[in-house]
Amino acid sequence: MTEEEIKRVLIKLLKRIAPDTEPEGLKPEDNIRQVLGIDSFDYLQFIVGCDEEFHIQTPEEDYGKIASFKELIPYVSIRMKK
């Protein structure tokens, strides 16, 4: 998966969890939760979605490291290759 493809999947996931937001407009360094107004419950669903879509495991202590697309996309990309 290219980074562009990963981003597309992430946007689709965010749309599913928060249909009334516009994740397309997120800039790479935007804090996803803050900009979209996503609470911890939705964020957990998002991580669950990521793990299912990309077949990865995201430990709880990593939540803080993947706040923006800029951090999240490489994180997913590296984990997928493992």
Partner 1 sequence: MIEFRMPSLGADMESGFLREWRVKPGDPIKRGDIIAEVETQKGIIEIEVFDEGTIGELLIKIDEKVPVGALMAYIIANGTSPEPSKPKLIDEKKETEQGRTRDRIPAPRIPIHTVKASPLAKRIALEKGIDITKLKGSGPNGAITRQDVEKASTGEGEMTAEKAKPAASAASIRLAVAAAMSKSNREIPHYYLSTKIDMSRALGWLTDANKQRSVKDRLLPVVLLLKAVAKALVTVPDLNAWWQDGLQRKTEIHIGFVVALRTGGIIVPAIHDAANKTLDDLMKSLTDIIPRARALRLRSSELADSTITVTNLGEEGVETVFGVIYPPQVALVGFGGIQEQPWAEKGMLDVRPVLTATLAADHRATDGSTGTQFLTALKNFLQNPEQL
Rounded distance, CA 54 to CA 35, Å?
Answer: 24
User: Helix, strand or coil for residue 2?
Assistant: coil
Q: Which tokens hold the place of 51? A: 């793990």
User: Residue from 1, 15, 51, 71 that binds partner 1 (CB under 8 A)?
Assistant: 51
Residue 4 or 61 having the CB closest to partner 1:
61
- Least separation in angstroms between residue 23's CB and partner 1 is 13
Rounded distance, CA 57 to CA 82, Å?
Answer: 11
40 lies in the binding site for partner 1 (CB under 8 A): yes
77 lies in the binding site for partner 1 (CB under 8 A): no
